[in-house]
Structure 1
């Protein structure tokens, strides 16, 4: 009995062991199967990642330009809208910066200004990575990230480009030593005024080789590399010098220089000795082209061809008109400066004169200098009102009452109680634009101005609608040309296209019209043209329908005249750089004479059309890319044909 029990127990144990072995075998098979599946998945993932990495790498590589031209700076051929050569310019690009001859103390200036931790990171900071995924434009703060950005053939922004720049920065750190990366930074970084890198900048701005710069001169360039717009030493010398002084203080903090050296090295203005060739008034066009090329293309070693929208015939007329009227009528009456900007209704610049004489240390008064606008900007609330009710005869209050803490005063100090929009604009009253702004809301009006394209900041003071805040000529042009461009605010641009020279070279930039919201209704446009017809000074005459009016602003420091035909808008500013008054200058006389002299000549060859008819005809023809200028123009002075 016991023996049988023992046998049964032994059999049960054996069976259990067999079952356990079978179960373990099954589990091992499952684990092996799972491992094979995981291995297969991992292989697929690695294959996909490898493929993506290869595609991304190849994609990035096609966007990069590592070429260098050590023998000379690239040439830039600048042409008018029709291909007529304006000028061949040698670009201001640094070549072959050598850290062997460039002193360590000067190298330290740029490291202190841009990336004190340069020798201790692997290409990007934690802040860079955070900003990349937050969608910030141009987030790279390290020298390596900035160098990576400079290698892309066409500047861009956005999360995808930021990630690409991060990958290139990491690759640069893995492939090259820190000195090579620093050399590229000193060679390729934009300084402003179309200048790239320290060797070109030191030669052009200081007249000395880079290795002979003082610490403060190097600090000026280092500050400009961080902000080439606001710290451009030619245009903002005081701000530039102050920024350089801060760089020197940072060097002392990093123990690169002794603290007691700061006061001896600091300056209130940079030590400049500009070496820029002057080419008369058209140099303002050349300078702006070079600055725009730097913004659109960045550093390059390739020769470029830039097709602008400039009409060389109109440019010559504008230069002659500014020179003649300034010499005979403006300077004798106390106004030393004048600026002219002429655009076609689609926003392309056809002529531009930035001052009565070219000075490399003066900013372009026709482009980025702000002037008090006065009546030039008062049309803004009228636009808004006519969008709501397109009747220029509608009545509005004309009374002197306090609005948002300010009591407007009319220029003639007369108040009629009620007045039509048309009469209010013709009389240049202050009460009506303020009343309209109060009615519709100042915030709405400022948003409206921004949507139209006024880029200069407008304050939250209701007086901004009567000219409290200074604006640029392009701001005024975008505002006035609305009714000429189908109610859409155009991009005011100078460049049509940029490409590398040589057969088969890629197009680097092409002007394309952005889709924009219509800012004026069709009914409002008709009302605006009707209203403007009543303000045109009868003493100013052309041989065709036109609109034109003047303004005196800034307590007499800024005089304007602006107007348009069916084909051309032109705005003229007259005044002094120090904002001193020129009381003898009258907008409707001296300034109007400059506007009229130019417009009379510039309009020749265009068919005589009403403003409204020209607008509707043009909007049907334009495609947003092709420059349609002079499509219906007939040369009034054709070249003589040889007699047969």
Structure 2
């Protein structure tokens, strides 16, 4: 009993000590929790501030990139100028500024809704695919009308994941701020239709000769199809494709109850009903179309006047148009050849003259820029360049036999095979076996990649068609690869536009600047290439200065060519028919050679006579692009 009384104070002391320790522990725990809360609040505040700053940065960036201006008085002008600033053409009426849903019938409005975004009136502006699009850098437009309108408000087009995010945020803001009808009006006013045309009122006036209020449902559907794909559904170049796409849109209108389904068959057409309004001005409309396409790509929709300085020399351009027309009428058409085209450029890649056909037609594409033709021997220089880079001696021996390569067995035009032949003689005789054997020796894919690197933009096959002229290419491709020696062995930066700016303010949108590129032809190979070209040059052409040039020799093909150059100009001429029919009476090295000579003689009037090799080093300037150097240093030399 005494022991129990003695243990009681001990237990009481232990409990007190335990309670004290527990209180200390709880106090320390409260301090730790308080510190953790402070740290958590600091972290939350930091991330909230960072997030707010990021959002504000995005908002400010978006605001600085947006253009909501709208000219209610007139469509903006595009002033197209030559390299020296002289006005070539003033283009008006390509930008819609006057779309009003109070005058355009509801049924016409519904055509564009059904053609692009049938659920437009039921969603909040974006779809799941638009959120996925934020994480990509492709050029696919937004899936909804609101997303496309958001894209059109940016001052300059851009393709990146960051821009896609900005477009999505602007689309959500548009849905919150404006009514569906307001968004639809902007869509009909700002959408790109192709050919430098924006909006349905401008397209209606140019393609149908009628205001948008009076067009038919099928005509409206053709415009809706063009908005979805301006190139594929161009009603002038691809009338049947455009009409079929329009018919599908009308069918969608029936499915979504915009019109009675049984009316659709009565509205469908095989081809669009067009009444195109156009005129050919001082400079060829082919040039105007090219400029307007590039302006549309670089600026998009705008309400401001635009000034475009091109590399075109009006004197040379006018000469090219006259010569192509005259020679075609006198020498080509009597022999069954309806069309001819020409491209002439400086050694640095600036286009000085381009003729897309004997006469301009809005229903035919630019045969010098957009249409691909079978090049024959014009493309065979590519494997020769490759071989000269490996061994610069034009007298080197190469195989001339009918060895099968990739299932193909090449045939020489003269049906003769010498076993061994010099590189120079093979080029002169235009044999098919040597380019094929060279491609097999160095690797066909290597040669194909090389062709792409030196300027061939057209699609190329993965077999020997690439090196024997059976892959169709453009005049621009042929001009680019033949300019390689003249441009110090570096691929040219082919361009028509030097500068784009807004009129009045002079705000610069685009300036051509010489790009740093890898040398693709060695100095020794350049010398060898000049030897090849001089070997095939007909001295009877008789220019007043050093030159080189050659053409296709075989008759009965569908395309005839002549390519030649001096120290100042590389010029390519093509002739053929739009239906790719054969032209048995035309040779590139005869008829087209005379056309080329007539042009080149007058195009060089007043320019000093210089060797091609020395001119390449004299003409080249570091960072050339601030001004167009065409004729500048040449004239200084004369003074």
| TM-score greater than 0.5 by the shorter chain | yes
Tell me the equivalent position of 2:392: 390
Tell me the equivalent position of 2:574: 573
Tell me the equivalent position of 2:77: 75
Tell me the equivalent position of 2:363: 361
Between the aligned partners of 1:29 and 1:167, the Cα distance in structure 2 is 44
The CA deviation string for residues 134-172 of structure 1, in whole angstroms up to 9 with x for no partner, is 332345332222222211111111222222222222222
**Matched-pair contact (CA < 8 Å) for 1:76–1:91:** no
Tell me the equivalent position of 1:243: 245
Q: Measure how far apart 1:398 and its partner are.
A: 1.9
Q: Which moved more, 1:622-631 or 1:315-324?
A: 622-631
Q: Measure how far apart 1:241 and its partner are.
A: 1.7
Tell me the equivalent position of 1:594: 595
Q: Residues 624, 497 of structure 1: CA spacing in aligned structure 2 closer, same or farther, 3 A cutoff? A: closer
Between the aligned partners of 1:384 and 1:520, the Cα distance in structure 2 is 8
Tell me the equivalent position of 1:399: 401
Structure 2 unaligned spans of 5+: none
Tell me the equivalent position of 2:383: 381
**Matched-pair contact (CA < 8 Å) for 2:115–2:225:** yes
**What secondary structure does 2:536 align onto?**
coil
Structure 1 unaligned spans of 5+: 639-644
Tell me the equivalent position of 1:124: 126
**What secondary structure does 1:100 align onto?**
coil
Are 2:29 and 1:27 aligned? yes
**What secondary structure does 1:539 align onto?**
helix
The CA deviation string for residues 506-564 of structure 1, in whole angstroms up to 9 with x for no partner, is 20111123332222122211111111110111221211111111115794221111110
Q: Measure how far apart 1:348 and its partner are.
A: 0.7
Q: Measure how far apart 1:460 and its partner are.
A: 2.6
Please show how residues 323-472 of structure 1 align to structure 2 within 5 Å.
323-472=325-474
Tell me the equivalent position of 1:303: 305
**Matched-pair contact (CA < 8 Å) for 2:553–2:589:** no
Tell me the equivalent position of 1:105: 107
Q: Residues 554, 288 of structure 1: CA spacing in aligned structure 2 closer, same or farther, 3 A cutoff? A: farther
**What secondary structure does 2:353 align onto?**
strand
State the number of aligned residues.
637
**What secondary structure does 1:66 align onto?**
coil
Between the aligned partners of 2:554 and 2:459, the Cα distance in structure 1 is 18
**What secondary structure does 1:134 align onto?**
coil
**TM-score normalized by the length of structure 2:** 0.94
Q: Measure how far apart 1:248 and its partner are.
A: 2.9
**Matched-pair contact (CA < 8 Å) for 1:233–1:241:** yes
Please show how residues 11-90 of structure 1 align to structure 2 within 5 Å.
12-13=14-15, 16-90=18-92
Q: Residues 201, 26 of structure 1: CA spacing in aligned structure 2 closer, same or farther, 3 A cutoff? A: same
Tell me the equivalent position of 2:495: 493
Q: Measure how far apart 1:485 and its partner are.
A: 0.9
Q: Residues 317, 275 of structure 1: CA spacing in aligned structure 2 closer, same or farther, 3 A cutoff? A: same
Tell me the equivalent position of 1:642: none
Q: Measure how far apart 1:573 and its partner are.
A: 0.9
Q: Residues 54, 420 of structure 1: CA spacing in aligned structure 2 closer, same or farther, 3 A cutoff? A: same
- Deviation >6 Å, runs of 4+: 635-638
The CA deviation string for residues 87-115 of structure 1, in whole angstroms up to 9 with x for no partner, is 12214111132223333333332223323
Between the aligned partners of 2:535 and 2:564, the Cα distance in structure 1 is 13
Tell me the equivalent position of 2:296: 294
Q: Measure how far apart 1:610 and its partner are.
A: 1.4
**Matched-pair contact (CA < 8 Å) for 1:370–1:470:** yes
Tell me the equivalent position of 1:319: 321
**Matched-pair contact (CA < 8 Å) for 1:132–1:139:** no
Between the aligned partners of 1:446 and 1:114, the Cα distance in structure 2 is 39
Between the aligned partners of 1:161 and 1:231, the Cα distance in structure 2 is 27
The CA deviation string for residues 569-625 of structure 1, in whole angstroms up to 9 with x for no partner, is 111111221222332222122211111111111112222111111112223556354
**TM-score normalized by the length of structure 1:** 0.93
Between the aligned partners of 1:562 and 1:258, the Cα distance in structure 2 is 59
